[in-house]
């Protein structure tokens, strides 16, 4: 999965915030000069602007689903004093460094059986009921998706509000206008939040691998079959070529998915919060809560540390929001993978995540498929299962859909005391409940 170096110092401030400010971990990777700030709900826009201006800062981004902003402060020795100035104001409820995400995929065995998971989770039988629907949209919030991949391009989403001709006869995809009024210009195939442009092409491979498990085109005579032979996949990129991205950009990506009303998001990234202080005050958590209200399921990887998330929390998998399905990884022998995190109170189920064969960006040797391992690989398999069940039951609520996925697992005795459900995903049983 993508590992967050630090989910950030999500610290609620009262009148004694200067002490709390010292808890910000400047040693962990973060974007120099940037802070995520959540203001008191009663503060007016002019008061916010004045406070930021007095700190010497400027607003980079204002979040939709929380009273939060991303602020740029002077990259000088005055950064700490400016940050303290903001933290010490009682109008500031929460403050955080803009910490960085990075890739953490567990090494895999290239000789693992290709797509063993399809039989294990009952996909081969499920396809007798449905092979998916283009009406279901799955957002892969990750390193982007290779939308030109021969096994993905026919299942790649196209924004209906940014395609076709505008009133002047120009192509909406390239006319430089926000035709659908969602705040993003020409986002006809999603958005790249890492580079702030409309091209979420994957230059890393991680997101493309996730996308293939969800919806590589089936029965097309090439490559592999995703869980959904028919589906709409959109890449929301916030991790760049070097394998890093920010908490602030992750929140923007989730907000975009909520605004666009996608059915499910696949999230193979996360990390520990500083001193376990992640709260409802941060924009990422607020965006996930907005997704919950919108009826959008959020599938989250549990992490690859081999540890218990009940004791050592990892976010966003550990956020307490009803729409989150947290996923551990199993291996080809139906055991909890050695690298996988677990948690009898916090992790819902496991799905195959060891030696998963899927689509990839082109390697130096011309290969466009590869095996990878991690809870990063397990989460999109659950996301794909959600999409497949939704295709056959379009009126099923997010709550009912989550319940189906979790309640129909195949019990596995070895994880009875390690996972909330005590079992491994079975998509066929979920379809037949």
Catalytic residue (one of 133, 206, 266, 373): 206
Q: What is the rounded distance in angstroms from the CA atom of residue 174 to the CA atom of residue 185?
A: 9
73 pLDDT higher than 70: yes
The pLDDT score that the predictor gives to residue 81 is 78
Looking at the predicted structure, is the pLDDT value of residue 425 above 70? yes
User: Which residue would you say has higher pLDDT here, 4 or 406?
Assistant: 406
Nearest-angstrom CA–CA distance, 75 and 148:
39
Mean pLDDT, rounded, for 283-299: 96
* pLDDT at 146 > cutoff 60: yes
- Grade residue 276 by pLDDT with cuts at 50, 70 and 90: low
Predicted confidence at residue 6, as pLDDT, reads 38
pLDDT band per the 50, 70, 90 thresholds, residue 258: very high
pLDDT at position 51: 86
Q: Which of 142, 186, 263, 348 is catalytic?
A: 142
Residue 71 has pLDDT above 70, yes or no: yes
Residue 429 has pLDDT above 90, yes or no: yes
Q: Identify the structural domains of the chain with CATH numbers, from first to last.
A: 2-100 (3.30.70.80), 117-432 (3.40.50.200)
pLDDT tens per residue across span 213-243: 999 998 888 899 999 999 999 999 999 888 7
pLDDT of residue 21 exceeding 70:
no
Identify the pLDDT of residue 386: 98
149 is catalytic: no
Angle at the Cα of 14 from the Cα atoms of 11 and 18, rounded to 5 degrees: 70
pLDDT tens by residue, 121-131: 999 889 889 99
Active site residue 142: yes
- Highest average pLDDT, of 52-56, 134-138, 237-241, comes from 134-138
Among residues 6, 330, 376, 421, the one annotated as catalytic is: 376
Mean of per-residue pLDDT scores for the chain: 87
What's the whole-number mean pLDDT along residues 120-143? 94
Looking at the chain, the whole-number percentage of residues with pLDDT higher than 70 is 88
pLDDT at 2 (0 to 100): 54
pLDDT digits (tens, 9 = 90+) for 340-376: 999 999 999 999 999 999 999 988 778 899 999 999 9
Question: Does the pLDDT of residue 110 top 60, yes or no?
Answer: no
Position 5 scores a pLDDT of 39
Close Cβ partners of 89 (under 8 Å, ≥ 6 residues apart): 17, 51
The total number of residues shown for the chain amounts to 433
Which pLDDT score, from 0 to 100, does residue 279 have? 59
- Check pLDDT > 70 for residue 30: yes
Query: Residue 415 and residue 331: Cα distance in Å, rounded?
Result: 13
Looking at per-residue pLDDT, the higher value among 107 and 230 belongs to 230
C-alpha span between 108 and 86 (Å, rounded): 46
């Amino acid at each position: 999965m993508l590992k967050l170096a630090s989910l950030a110092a999500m610290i609620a401030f009262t009148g004694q915030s200067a002490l709390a400010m010292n808890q910000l971990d400047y040693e962990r990777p973060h974007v120099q000069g940037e802070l995520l700030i959540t203001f008191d709900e009663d503060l007016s826009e002019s008061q916010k602007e004045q406070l930021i201006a007095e700190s010497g800062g400027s607003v980079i981004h204002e979040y939709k689903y929380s009273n939060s902003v991303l602020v740029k402060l002077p990259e000088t020795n005055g950064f700490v004093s400016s940050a303290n100035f903001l933290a010490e104001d009682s109008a500031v409820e929460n403050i955080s460094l803009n910490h960085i995400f990075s890739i953490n995929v567990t090494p895999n065995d290239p000789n693992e059986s290709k797509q063993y998971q399809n039989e294990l989770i009952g996909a081969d039988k499920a396809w007798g009921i449905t092979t998916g629907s283009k009406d279901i949209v799955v957002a892969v919030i990750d390193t982007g998706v290779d939308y030109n991949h021969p096994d993905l391009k026919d299942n790649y989403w196209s924004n209906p509000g940014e395609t076709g001709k505008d009133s002047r006869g120009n192509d909406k995809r390239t006319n430089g206008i926000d035709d659908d009024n969602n705040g993003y210009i020409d986002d006809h195939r999603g958005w790249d939040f890492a580079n702030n442009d409309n091209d979420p092409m994957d230059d890393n491979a991680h997101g493309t691998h996730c996308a293939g498990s969800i919806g590589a085109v089936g029965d097309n005579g090439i490559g592999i079959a995703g869980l959904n032979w028919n589906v709409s996949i959109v890449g929301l990129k916030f991790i760049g070529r070097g394998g890093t991205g920010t908490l602030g950009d992750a929140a923007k990506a989730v907000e975009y998915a909520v605004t666009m009303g996608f059915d499910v998001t696949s999230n193979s990234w996360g990390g520990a919060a500083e001193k376990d202080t992640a709260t409802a005050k941060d924009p990422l958590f607020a965006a996930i809560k907005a997704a919950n209200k919108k009826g959008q399921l959020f599938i989250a990887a549990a992490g690859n540390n081999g540890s218990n998330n009940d004791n050592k929390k990892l976010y966003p998998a550990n956020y307490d929001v009803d729409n989150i399905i947290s996923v551990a990884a199993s291996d080809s022998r139906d055991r909890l993978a050695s690298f996988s995190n677990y948690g009898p109170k916090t992790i819902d189920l496991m799905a195959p995540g060891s030696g998963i064969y899927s689509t990839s960006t082109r390697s130096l040797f011309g290969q466009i498929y590869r095996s990878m391992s991690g809870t990063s690989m397990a989460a999109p398999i659950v996301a794909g299962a959600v999409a497949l069940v939704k295709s056959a039951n379009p009126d099923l609520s997010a709550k009912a859909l989550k319940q189906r996925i979790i309640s129909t697992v195949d019990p596995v005795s070895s994880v009875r005391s390690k996972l909330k459900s005590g079992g491994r995903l079975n998509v066929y049983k979920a379809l037949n409940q």
